[in-house]
Structure 1
Amino acid sequence: MGLFTTLKDKIFGHPDAKRAPAPAAPPAAPAAPIVASAPQPQPVDVEATLAYLAEKSGQPSNWRESIVDLMKLVDMDSSLAARKELADDLGYTGDKNDSASMNIWLHKQVMAKLATAKA
């Protein structure tokens, strides 16, 4: 998923990404051996990060409803060609010449995928 991965990486890898509080870990079983593992990346609070970026930009942004504004917020090309490419990446089967419908679908898909994405 080329463009979606780029968009996700721009949010999750942004230096100002807001880290969500780590969920409480269940206590380890007393008989379990202690095994060192690589630290897990902390989850990113996508909403807080995007809200912060919008505030920091000083420009009006409707990123909560507009795929164009969302892409601009993370410094991505938001042209129709780029949105059509993103639609291809995400499996859009509708008419790409109906940009309004495509944009609404794209925004819903991107936000849903970001909600379940990991860094």
Structure 2
Amino acid sequence: MSLFSNIVNKIFGRAKASPAPDAQAGGAPASGGAPGAAPASPAPGAGPAAPQAGTAPAAAPAAAPAPAQPVDVEAVLNEAAAQNPQKLNWRTSIVDLLKLLDLDSSLTARKDLAKELNYTGDPNDSAAMNIWLHKQVMRKLAENGGKVPADLKD
């Protein structure tokens, strides 16, 4: 598996492991219904579910399942940083970002990541490569369904 795929899996996997703030604030169970209740959403493409015999119709029709929400990359990484005993500056450092995700942050790994992401600069200029890598990783996370602050992509 590529290093960038590992980054995506670590970040997006953390987002799936913790409930979204909206779900917590709404007070509804994450499953979308009360324990023991029939599933609320019909099969994709099916019309609204017909009330079952002996059950009262719902006050409002059930909403269609929401499309997958973008993963809030900043929130996921801030939460991981808060739980990490090291003070890691993931916002500016590709090395710290990789360490935070428990991935190989060695120069060799970063050169491999640069090659994977089509870096055209000098891989021996690690400072320039690291800056480029961080911005490119943030851009690619956004392209793959991550919500990334604009200042981290520029």
- Quick one: distance in 2 between partners of 1:89 and 1:19? 31
- Quick one: distance in 1 between partners of 2:19 and 2:106? 27
Q: Give the structure with higher Rg (CA).
A: 2
Is 1:106 aligned with 2:116? no
Q: Which protein, 1 or 2, shows the higher relative CO under an 8 Å CA cutoff with sep ≥ 6?
A: 1
Paired residue total:
108
Distance 1:49 1:17, change over 3 A: farther
Q: Structure 1 unaligned segments of length 5 or more: list them.
A: 23-33
Q: CA deviation at 1:19?
A: 3.7
Residue aligning to 1:55:
82
- Greater shift in the superposed pair: 37-46 or 94-103: 37-46
Q: TM-score, normalised by structure 2?
A: 0.61
**8 Å contact from structure 1 (residues 71, 78) kept in 2:** yes
Q: Structure 2 unaligned segments of length 5 or more: list them.
A: 24-43, 47-63, 147-154
- Quick one: distance in 2 between partners of 1:20 and 1:86? 32
User: What root-mean-square deviation, in Å, do the aligned CA atoms of Structure 1 and Structure 2 show?
Assistant: 2.7
Overall identity of the aligned pairs, in %: 56
Stretches (4+) displaced over 3 A? 15-22, 36-42
Q: CA deviation at 1:117?
A: 1.5
